[in-house]
Amino acid sequence: MPWKAMDAMSLRAEFVALAKKEGSNIRELCRRYQISSRTAYKWLKRYEQEGVSGLAERSRRPKHIARQTKAEMEAKVIAIRSETGWGGRKIARVLSNQGYEGVPHPNTITDILRRAGKLDEAESAKHEPFQRYQRSHPNELWQMDFKGHFAMVSGRCHPLTVIDDHSRFCVGLKACGDETGANVKGHLQTIFRLYGLPKAILCDNGGPWGAGYPLLELSNLAVWLIRLGIDPTHGRPAHPQTQGKDERFHRTLKVELLQGRSFSDLPDCQQAFDTWRNRYNLERPHEALDLDTPSQHYLPSQRSFPEILPGIEYNPNEIVRKVHSTGTVTYHDQEYKVGKGLMGQLVALRPTDIDGVFDVYFCQVKVRQINTLHKP
């Protein structure tokens, strides 16, 4: 169960952050996190009374932290920088969130870091503001991709990352041994059970995602997503900026966790991933969110994951065909290509305004257009 699969303190903090959001369904969150309502309200009450420290077992940490001397504050600033690599604005927000009094201005913190030799001026000059675009609500779109794999003492790790486009909340950071569709599907099932289903998932082109250009070529993974009512969308080839938020997340992951560090195996990676993901979601101020944390902008989806796939239904006036093993359908004794990923599935041919031209739909997604007046 989730309390055992992740660090308990981290999971309690995540649960509380999501449960306190306006419009959250605490009963449904309890089901997904597999805890009783009594336990849930116990942690919520402790959080209200003691803050994050109240989520620890028998914590003796005071809710309010006494004023620090200048030397102690500088030491705290340098310690956060050394641990996270964050800049002045993020460190100032974190110290304020943790209850410290007399937090220095971000510019003062930058000066402290500069005096301590903790700043790379050349690297800092590279970071300039840019135009950001995001969906208006959580779970409208998730971005999913593999970060470049790296060597461990035993084998290689392929990090699977899944980010909510609106909030930048990381719903999934999984240490995978390969990049197969079956492995991705297994991890997505765990993610869907906890956070619900998004409306769409943006991936790049190629396996195991499938391809969007020039024709929509569905993989087995994409077919499964569509059956769940999720639209698999694809970035333009050679345009990684389409998945800019996930690409940016990858750079942050590399700098704050992976760079200069080695791991023994996949469980060792996953333990580090879980700890870092908790910090990223709940503690790390995000520049694109006005220094809020992603958890302050995220709310789990109200669409729960169905353990049994829903049936496929089409309108009575549509022409329904089963896809052959060759990835084709038959219409008037002619075969037309719709994609091998749909083998064995039912698709619908919908007439268009052009005589003899049909749009081919799989569930809610248009996958092809065929012209029956021309022989394939």
For residue 141, report the phi and psi dihedrals to the nearest 5 degrees. -150, 130
Q: What is the pTM of this model?
A: 0.74
Question: What would the pLDDT profile of 175-212 be if each residue is shown by its tens digit?
Answer: 999 999 999 999 999 999 999 999 999 988 877 888 77
C-alpha 86, offset from chain centre: 21
Q: SS3 for 74? A: helix
Question: What would the pLDDT profile of 299-355 be if each residue is shown by its tens digit?
Answer: 999 999 999 998 899 998 899 999 999 999 999 889 999 988 899 999 999 999 999
pLDDT given at position 126: 43
Residues in the chain, pLDDT under 70: 1-6, 57-69, 120-135, 213-214, 236-243, 375-376
What angle do helix axes 181-195 and 220-227 make, rounded to 10 degrees? 20
Burial 256-286 (b: 16+ CB within 10 A, else e): bbbeeeebeebebbbebbbebbbbbbbbbbb
Nearest of 328, 322, 358 to residue 340 by alpha carbon: 328
For residue 14, report the phi and psi dihedrals to the nearest 5 degrees. -65, -45
For residue 38, report the phi and psi dihedrals to the nearest 5 degrees. -65, -45
Alpha-carbon gap, residue 278 to 300, rounded angstroms: 16
What is the C-alpha radius of gyration for the chain, rounded to an integer number of angstroms?
24
The two three-digit tokens of residue 354, written as one number: 């052009």
